[in-house]
Each structure stands twice: as structure tokens, then as C-alpha cells.
Chain A
């Protein structure tokens, strides 16, 4: 049994300290922001089975290609840059694969990452690349795919689901065709 002292009984109820509460809310909010940022940067590239958001690529020729319009086709999305030496290893093979598949419901898109236009155009000419290529304006596409570097290739199945991911250059035409065939037969 406790006895309440007269002073305690008369003491006014403590007011909430709004300043302190506000500071703590601010600090926790800031920590949450930092946490979300860290999680995002540590996520790595989009994984097989996910469905990347559709994007529009404005090609160097001025045409616009929207991946939403390519549903029903396999879409090969290759990230590259003219300053990227490993990209050159696969450039000719990618064009060969495009020539092989262009009439078989397989679309190719080249996304030029953090590059300068004259050098990018020279690169396309050097390797005789004819499939649609365009700059990644504002690096929006590469951020959506969370790429870590170039070259990286993402192959979407007919339903727009990511079926194959290749980090680094393809080493042969055979490897590219295997990836495309796997994507063609992939189930959503």
C-alpha cells in the first residue's frame, strides 16, 4: 500500500514536450530515408522473373520505341557504351543475332549508357549495328534496371517478364542464341 504525498497529488500533469518529439520524428525520418537509399543501392540488378516497367527509347535516328508495344515478342535489351572495351567483344555477335532473329518475333534494343553521341554513332558504324539504338537519357532506363556497368543484357520473354540476364559480354553467337531460345520458351 502506498501513500501519496500531498505535494505529488497537487503536482500538475507534465505537458508533452513537443520540441523533443519533433526532433525525434525528424531524426527517425532521416534515418528511414538513409535506410531506403542504402537498400536501393545494395539491391543489385533486376532479377529473372521480375517484370521491369515499360520504357521508351528514343533512337539516334529520332524514332521512339516503347517496350509496352513489344509485348508478344522476345526483347533483347543491351546496355553498352563506346568507351567500354568489353562491349566491343559482343557487338558484332549481337548484330549477327539480330539479323538471324529479326523476322522471328525477337526485337533488339541497344541502350547507350553515359556516352557521347559522336563516339556512340562511330561505334555503331564500326560494328555495322542496325538494330534500334539510342541514348539512355537521364540514365532513367539503366536506373530502372539497376545496372552496375556495361555491357549488360536483359532478355524479356513474350509476356514482358525478365527471362535472361547477362552481366558482362557474351562470348559467342551461340551463347546469345541459347539465351534467346530460353527466353522464347520461358513461361510467365
Chain B
């Protein structure tokens, strides 16, 4: 009966000794998937092949860049760190969305400003058209129509038939 506690103790010691190894094996096994790599790659553009996002660019240069992303992810780098690394290496132009600084601000400010200005102009134009329509003399037309003998006769006929 004394062998059971001893056996349990030995198993406990063995598990305790192997636990760190199991942990490191698990850490080494976290190879980034293509989806994880492409999630970052699609936010980057290689200057060699402009207008083609990195995740779909077929050139060797872009393949090397994707390998770099995979390597950095495997090393535990975050998305922000990887993007910062690429900016440092190749310049801010590799980013799909330019950082909001300097003249880049125009990219973020101009579209909403242009939209609001367009909406304002449209509102003013519509308002002036409605005012003009309301102020237009409708009576003279009716008067002119009733003065026309043919129209008057037609209206009389219609009234009589109706």
C-alpha cells in the first residue's frame, strides 16, 4: 500500500519536470497562418509594384516581404510593431492608409468637407428654387387662358357635359 503514494509522487515530479518543455514546444508550434500574414500584408503596398496590395502581389520582392511578416509574427511582434518596422525600412508610402500627418491630413479632411459643402450648396439651390416658384405669378396664366375664346368655350362645354 505504501507504493501508491510513492508512485503518485513520482508522477507528479515527472509532470513538473516536463511542464516547461511542453510549454516551449507549444510556443514553438505557433506558426503564423497565411490568413494572419495576409491580414497585415493587405494593409501594405510594396513600392516596386505600386497599386497592388502586398497580400496578392506575385513578385519575388513581395513574397520576401510576406516572409518577413511571417517571421516577425512568429517572433511575437504585434501588427503595430510590424507596420512600424516596414515604415522605418521602406517609408510611410508602403501603408495602404497614410498616417494622418502633414499634407496627408488633406486625404482625411477634404472628402467630408467637399461632401458638406456640396450638401450646403444643394440645400441653398433647392431653397431658392422653391422661393422662386412660390413667388412666380400664377394668376396671369389663368387669366390669359380664360381670355382665350377657344379655351373659354372648351371650359363651358366641359362644364355642361360634366
Contact = CB atoms under 8 A, between A and B. Distances in A.
Nearest to B110: A30
Contact of A139 (B47, B59, B103): B47
Interface in B93-117: 93, 103, 106, 110, 117
B103 A33 contact: yes
B64 A116 contact: yes
A143 B65 CA distance: 20
Nearest to A23: B117
A174 interface: no
Contacts, number: 38
Interface residues of B, number: 20
Contacts of A119: 64
Interface string A1-38: 00000000000000000000001000000100100000
A135 B88 CA distance: 11
Given A114-B46, A116-B64, A139-B47, A83 B91 contact: no
Contacts of A139: 47, 90-91, 93
B61 interface: yes
Contact of B91 (A30, A115, A140, A149): A140
A115 B89 CA distance: 9
Contacts of B143: none
A48 interface: no
A119 B106 CA distance: 38
B68 interface: yes
Specify the main secondary structure of chain B where it touches its partner: helix
Interface string B31-69: 000000000000000111000000000011100110110
B66 to A, nearest CB: 10
A83 B61 contact: yes
A118 to B, nearest CB: 8
B120 to A, nearest CB: 10
Most buried by A among B60, B67, B90, B106: B90
A114 B67 contact: no
A71 to B, nearest CB: 27
A149 B110 CA distance: 33
A135 B91 CA distance: 12
Interface of B: 46-48, 59-61, 64-65, 67-68, 87-91, 93, 103, 106, 110, 117
4 A-B pairs with the lowest CB-CB distances in the bound complex, closest first: A83-B60, A138-B91, A83-B61, A116-B64
19 contacts: A23-B117, A30-B110, A33-B103, A33-B106, A81-B61, A82-B64, A83-B59, A83-B60, A83-B64, A114-B46, A114-B61, A114-B90, A115-B61, A116-B64, A116-B68, A137-B89, A138-B90, A139-B90, A143-B91
